[in-house]
A and B are shown apart, each in its own frame.
Chain A
Amino acid sequence: MKFLRFISAGLGAAALVASAHAAGGALHPHEPEGGWEFTGPLGELDMESVQRGYQVYREVCASCHGMRLMHYRNLGEPGGPFYDPEYPNANDNPLVKSFAAQDEILSTEPNDVGDYDYRPARTSDPFKSPYPNEQAARAANGGAYPPDLSVITKARPGGASYIYSLLTGYPEDAVISTRTVEVPAEDVTDSEASEEEVEAEEGAAVVEETETVIDVGHMDKLSHGDAHYEGELIQPLGQYYNPYFAGDTTPQWEGDPRHAPPGGFLAMPPQLTPGRVSYMDGTEATVDQMARDVSAFLQWAGEPKQKQRKSTGFASMIYLVILAVLLWFSFHRIWRKVDH
């Protein structure tokens, strides 16, 4: 069984690469309780969860995040959440058509006088984009660009677990407090928010500012394990701390710089609050449930053909193993009279 040796050589190389991709400064993303249904060679997406996830995307995420690689028809194609065997052509699926028709999009074709009209989307259209371009998106989001979510689960180490962990990983209300601090006036003059205050207290050496402080040491996500964080994290205006977001907390950390908390600050405030959507199927919309569902939806959207991939893979593996066994016998037949 000498060939086992080179198989193990291959696995060694794979392990090497896997270690290369371990994440750095952020908390390692984790699966929801009970794990994902879609992991493993035979795992399949829970399509009801993906359906609910589409609702969460539409009602929560879609106001800032586009999915330019997704089309309405994808929802009804084989392997999609709203696939109906009665309508093999997704363009005829009434549910998919109604999803499309609810969105008004800017037509890509000019009208008779050369202007571009808004019209209800068709199933062949890409998902409605929340902003006409990147500049508009940045302007509406304080300079941050909400990333396109089409392939987000493939574009982040951790995939769906990352989305789930990020959405549920914001500090809980109990550890967030605000306080008023006095800042030397000359330090804040270029900050828009406090300009009025400066004018009001003209001549004063200091102005008062409100500062958001996070008691990281008592955050649920960070309190277990052997790491303990003694100090305060000052959250910048318009930024939100999340231990799963890749970044650097050192500049905002008042405490031992050798033990700055993991994660970083992102421009997206926490989005999911209990009951933020009312699910069509009556499922209770807890934060965990919504995060789980939308992650499952994005997992599907990142690779709509993953079900086909796994089923084709299963058949291919069985075929290859049978062929290998046949060749093994063939090989021994042919070589039986030769010393080697």
Chain B
Amino acid sequence: MSGHPSAYEPKTGFTKWLDSRLPVVRLAYDSFVDFPTPKNLNYWWTFGGILAVCLATQILSGIVLAMHYTPTVDGAFASVERIMRDVPYGWLIRYIHANGASMFFLAVYIHMARGLYYGSYKAPREVLWILGCVIYLLMMGTAFLGYVLPWGQMSYHGANVITGLIGALPVVGDSIKAWLMGGPSIGNQTLQRFFSLHYLLPFMIAGVVILHIWALHVPGNNNPAGVEARKDPEGLKKDTVPFHPYYTVKDGFAIVVFLIIFAAFVFYMPNVLGHADNYIEANPLVTPAHIVPEWYLLPFYAILRAITFDIGPIDAKLLGVIFMFGSIAILFVLPWLDTSKVRSMRYRPVARQFFFGFIATMLLLGWCGASNPDDPIIPMGSDQLVVSYTDANGNEATQTYEEYEAAATFRDQKLDEGVDAAIAVAKAPAFRFVHLAQILTLYYFAYFLVILPLLGLREKPKDEPTSIHKAVLGNDRAAPAPAE
């Protein structure tokens, strides 16, 4: 699996016998014990290990929950609460699974941001990056399917909205939607297939994770300096350390710190990342006042809702769907959009500013996704009162007022004349969430399609270190100390 010569030497008779037949111990040894890893990896690199823990946690707790869960519209909600109330430690396992999804996404976003900042998607790691994007897509699918299972109000109406997105596709949309739901609406059959698929997808993720690690071990890790570890034995020794014990213990420490945050959510605020409406059993006749997805999908939801205009023959609904899927699809071609030869943004001062702008954009998009798009952020002027009435010629007429008393007097006067009159509020112009989301969406796409391609050609990067060893000494030590 790895691109370096194997140092594994079987010692006992049995391991020799096994090694000549199935070199699985050799594979594990070369991949996770002796694997040469750059010695300058910082804590941002521990999220790979953290994500492995997240996936294992979700699969394990999920298998257990499936032993107690009932995938029927009549039984799902009650069976989830039975897990919370009657199954020994069921409350713990369910809270681990529900919050585990959020923790998984928290970790994957940090992992992806790390990749973006340090240029980990650049040659020769394009396939590694694309496999990561595939995992991310599968994760979103799994999370969506899983959110339907408790059969609360958000489960049901969220599923309605998401399947509605597919229905927006021209020509084939409606047929695909009906095929997916197994009927004209989301019902028992939908819940049952979503449960089955929710069980399947994590194992597909695990499969792609194996490919992802394989693709990582061919070129080896990128690192904060962004320069490759030297291949000659002398240079390799200076630039790298064996994965075990150096990175097992470092990852282990980071994993436990991450678990502390995880545990704080599970034990002390288990429902804070969820939505209260999902503790109301699904009712197809009543849609909750605010439909919002889970926090980790909010930025994309904001992009979807930012598109309120048609472009040519494409209407706003389809265009929103195109932009939303496009925002994820664009990640797949990122290795070819970024033209810079320098990997790490440590040495790209201008690109770094745009990167932080991108992070801020994602956080603000999340805020937009969580808010009502029509709510004002910055009001411009105050709301006016408009009295509409029928004038003497029988035409509709309006009169605008600032003060309520004046408006009411005018209305009453008209009513006394026997004319219909009513007061309505004319909202003052404002900079609203939808406007912010539109600007942010523009930046999102510009970052990938304009800034990264052009900047790579025009920017003058700082000097890169000649080796990882030099980078370590140059950054942290005034006087070079003998290493190793």
Contacts and interface: CB of A to CB of B under 8 A. Distances in A.
Interface stretch (B23-31, B276-284, B341-349): B276-284
Contacts of A68: 78
A340 interface: yes
Contact of B272 (A18, A150, A323, A339): A18
A88 interface: no
Interface in B442-484: 472-473, 476-477, 481, 483-484
A338 B39 contact: yes
Interface residues of B, number: 67
B85 A246 contact: no
Interface in A279-300: none
B254 interface: yes
A257 B257 CA distance: 52
B385 interface: yes
Contacts of A331: 249-250, 252-253
Contacts of A305: 84-85, 91
B64 interface: no
Interface string A245-258: 01000000001111
A318 to B, nearest CB: 11
Nearest to B267: A313
B272 A154 contact: no
B370 A310 contact: no
B273 A14 contact: yes
Contact of B245 (A312, A323, A334): A334
B85 A74 contact: yes
Given A12-B363, A327-B256, A313 B85 contact: no
Contacts of B295: 13, 16-17, 20
Interface stretch (B40-48, B207-215, B309-317): B40-48
Interface stretch (A3-11, A44-52, A107-115, A193-201): A3-11
B260 A317 contact: yes
B414 interface: no
A74 B473 CA distance: 64
A24 interface: yes
A317 B273 contact: no
B426 to A, nearest CB: 10
Contacts of B420: none
A21 B267 contact: no
Contact of B263 (A2, A304, A313, A328): A313
B424 interface: yes
B18 interface: no
Interface in A302-340: 303-305, 308-310, 312-314, 316-317, 320-321, 323-324, 327-328, 330-331, 334-335, 337-340
B291 to A, nearest CB: 12
A305 B87 CA distance: 11
Contact of B257 (A3, A312, A339): A3
Contacts of B292: 20
A139 interface: no
A223 B118 CA distance: 56
Given A3-B254, A309-B267, A155 B280 contact: yes
Given A257-B424, A305-B85, A330-B249, A20 B43 contact: no
B289 A246 contact: yes
B1 to A, nearest CB: 24
B98 to A, nearest CB: 12
A17 B370 contact: yes
B289 to A, nearest CB: 7
B253 A324 contact: yes
B266 interface: yes
Contacts, number: 152
A138 interface: no
A19 interface: yes
Nearest to B42: A2
A69 B85 CA distance: 9
B256 A21 contact: no
Contact of A154 (B44, B253, B268, B279): B279
Interface string A1-41: 01100110110111011111100100000000000000001
A269 interface: no
Contacts of A155: 276-277, 279-280
A136 to B, nearest CB: 17
A157 interface: yes
Interface in B99-121: 106, 110
Contacts of A119: none
Contacts of A310: 267-268
Given A16-B295, A17-B272, A258 B481 contact: no
A19 B85 contact: no
Contact of A313 (B268, B279, B425): B268
A335 B244 CA distance: 11
B81 interface: yes
Contacts of B43: 2-3, 6
A69 B246 CA distance: 51
Nearest to B476: A339
A46 B473 CA distance: 60
Nearest to A317: B263
Interface in B263-307: 263-264, 266-268, 270-273, 275-277, 279-280, 289-290, 292, 295, 298
Given A338-B484, A339-B483, A309 B92 contact: yes
Contacts of A24: 289-290, 372
Nearest to A316: B263
Contact of A150 (B81, B276, B366): B81
19 contacts: A6-B43, A6-B44, A17-B273, A17-B370, A20-B298, A21-B276, A154-B271, A303-B91, A309-B267, A312-B92, A317-B264, A317-B267, A323-B256, A324-B256, A330-B253, A331-B253, A335-B246, A338-B39, A339-B481
The 9 A-B residue pairs with the shortest CB-CB distance in the complex, in nearest-first order = A313-B267, A20-B370, A256-B404, A155-B279, A327-B253, A154-B279, A17-B295, A305-B91, A3-B43
Given A17-B272, A17-B273, 4 more contacts: A24-B289, A24-B290, A338-B484, A339-B477
Interface of A: 2-3, 6-7, 9-10, 12-14, 16-21, 24, 41, 68-69, 74, 147, 150-151, 154-157, 230, 246, 255-258, 303-305, 308-310, 312-314, 316-317, 320-321, 323-324, 327-328, 330-331, 334-335, 337-340
